[in-house]
Amino acid sequence: MVSFATRARRTFEVEYGARRGTTENAYATRGEKDACLIDCVDGRHAEGYAREIEGLGAWARDAAYHAVLHVSPRRLDALAAAIANRSEGAACVEVLCSNPGAQLIQQALKPNSPLTNEALCAAWKGTDGKLRARLRVVRNGERLDLGGRTLRFTLAPTPRWPDLIFARDEKSQTLFTSKFFSAHVGTMEGYGDEGGLETFGEDWRFYFDCLLAPMARQVSPLLEKLTGVAKTICPAHGPVVASSVTELYREYVEWCKMQTSAGDNLSVAVIYASAYGNTGAMAQAIARGVAKTGVGAEMFNCELASPIEVEEVLKRSAGFALGAPTLGGTLPTPVQTALGAIVKEGDLEKPCGSFGSFGWSGEAVAMIDKRLTDAGFKSAFEPLRCKFKPTAETLQLCEESGTDLAQAVRKIERRKQVLERKSVGQAADGVSDTAAAVGRIVGSLCAVTTKNEDTQSAMLASWVSQASFNPPALTVAVAKERAVESFLMTGGKFNLNVLKSGGEKDVMKALLKPFAPGENRFGALDVDISETNGCAVVKQALACVECTVTKRMEAGDHWVVLAEVERGTLLDAEGVTSIHHRKTGSSY
């Protein structure tokens, strides 16, 4: 195995939001006759990747095959380094990939293409003009005989990764799953999954929620292809799974069921095309924001779909977002087709949104927004435009916009349910004894303030409780749909500002008003910034407790966040804590 670990956050895609680092994994195996390198790492590690392969021995350096389970522009420099490092007299290596992956590599080898990769071009054909590598497109179920060891390939396309392949080493019962069963956690202490779900469960779940949950309808049948004996799972990121194979597979199946069940009740379609992955990253963040609310999110790459499939996903969705890059000052053809299908369907009650990345002019998003507005659709969020690669702030804006879209969908659904009850003469639901009893549980009124990179966020909280004396710790319950939720990952910092009785009104007014995505959460509220953790300190508070998240527990529609207290400051020694009283336990 070749692995490069980092604890730093190297990129801003939503799946790196837990800020736990990551590993880039690649593998090598050999039989009695031939050897095969499996997968590839990020191009930032190209030189190190070639050195690591060299360190495995001549059998790996000059392997007859290199199976790239997922091809992306970011991996091509590493592939080039592996090819360039082969011995002068070595035979031509066969680069195995799916048809979509082969098309990308062909574009990278083509001169003057937007995807041309000079390093790959130079490595592919040596200085003597002879080919050092050639492409081989694998078919579903194809076997590669290495001599006493066989690799079997399974095509596993998804909207985000249309070229994805699984590989199974039938002798050792090892599964190479690329993006599936991955986790972004920098496991520098070792490659294994020692500790299992207890240690890595949160990382596996976060990765799934960010990347695979919006594709649950496509992921479920792919999981069925993986049924059977497997002793080890080797993913593209995070620990090699050996002690938790059965448990993690079972969790994946259950998570998919939960997501598809939510989608069966109420779902939002995130339809997009992405030239270089930037619009795709925005789509992923929007889908993440939708899924946090409990509404099903379905990502749909319209470049891979027919107009009929677009119409089908629209029919089963209660809202949608449409995204596109700007290519030559206009919309890509698949997006134009999807837009035509949307207008043709003409269900103007469905909330919508538009988004996209661009390099120079950026007309595409405005075109989508105008067409939808002219047709009579109502946007749930302002059009989202991103120049080149999205930043952490842009992706947070996308996530919050996705949440706004889902909440608009739920609002319409609630209105329909009220009308249905009225039409059959049903009275509005009253407060049950159970809800009334739970509502008598009181809590301290607090303002939770936190930050991610340069973005500050906050929320009002009363579901707060001390959890231990030594070390001092507390819990805070956070609704999954809150924007602040994604800031409170394990290792994240936050301040718990305990509000003062009689002095809480200004803080409540500031934090309870509706916020547009990306809007300053504090408004006119007077805050300082802590020198130790960078989070806001509310000057009107009674006390400020600085905390670090140590664990998260899923509790229905909330996360219970366990945090260790780092330090505390009493801002008013004479004041009394503000207490939040309720009459029902079914709302705040």
Q: Which amino acid is at 280?
A: G
State the angle between helix axes of 278-291 and 392-423 in degrees (0 to 180), rounded to the nearest 10. Answer: 40
* pLDDT on residue 357: 92
The stretch 295-316 carries a mean pLDDT of 87
What span, in angstroms and rounded, lies between the C-alpha atoms of 239 and 232? 11
CB distance 403 to 483 below 8 Å: yes
Q: What does the block give as tokens for 12?
A: 């801003």
pLDDT at 253 over 70: yes
Rounded CA-CA distance 442/434 in Å is: 15
DSSP-assigned states of every residue in 331-349: --HHHHHHHHHHHHH--TT
User: What span, in angstroms and rounded, lies between the C-alpha atoms of 108 and 65?
Assistant: 20
The whole-angstrom separation of Cα 56 and Cα 130 is 26
What strands, in cross-sheet order, belong to the sheet with 143-145?
143-145, 150-155, 165-169, 174-178, 232-235
* Residues 377, 322 contacting (CB under 8 angstroms): no
pLDDT score at 138: 97
> What's the mean pLDDT when you consider all of the chain?
89
The answer on pLDDT for 47 being more than 90 is yes
Higher pLDDT, 540 or 304: 540
**Does the pLDDT at position 576 exceed 60?**
yes
Q: Which residue has the higher pLDDT, 127 or 60?
A: 60
**CA–CA distance, 277 with 282 (Å, rounded to integer):** 9
CA distance 172 to 314: 44
Say which range, 61-70, 122-131, 394-403, 509-518, has the weakest mean pLDDT.
Answer: 509-518
Superfamily of domain 433-580: Electron Transport, Fmn-binding Protein; Chain A (2.30.110.10)
How confident is the model over 86-121, as pLDDT tens digits?
A: 998 899 999 999 999 999 999 999 998 888 999 999
Report the distance separating Cα 268 and Cα 406, nearest Å. Answer: 7
Give the mean pLDDT of 52-57.
92
- The correct answer on CATH 3.20.10.10 for the domain covering 266-418 is no
What is the band of 367 on the pLDDT scale with cuts at 50, 70, 90? very high
Sorting pLDDT into bands at 50, 70 and 90, what band is 418? confident
- pLDDT of 37 > 90? The answer is yes
Give the DSSP letter string of 437-473: HHTT--EE-EEEEEEETTEEEEEEE--EEEEETTTTE
Question: Residue 200 CB: number of other CB atoms within 10 A?
Answer: 22
2-241 and 433-580 agree in CATH topology:
no
| Phi, psi dihedrals of residue 503, rounded to the nearest 5° | -125, 20
CA angle 90, 92, 94 (to 5 degrees): 130
Q: Specify whether the CB–CB gap between 499 and 513 falls below 8 A.
A: no
> What is the topology classification, in CATH, of domain 2-241?
Metallo-beta-lactamase; Chain A (3.60.15)
Supply the pLDDT for residue 436.
87
Q: Are strands 352-358 and 319-323 parallel, antiparallel or unpaired?
A: parallel
DSSP state of 566: E
Residue ranges per structural domain of the chain: 2-241, 266-418, 433-580
Three-class secondary structure assignment of 185-202: CCCCCCCECCCHHHHHHH
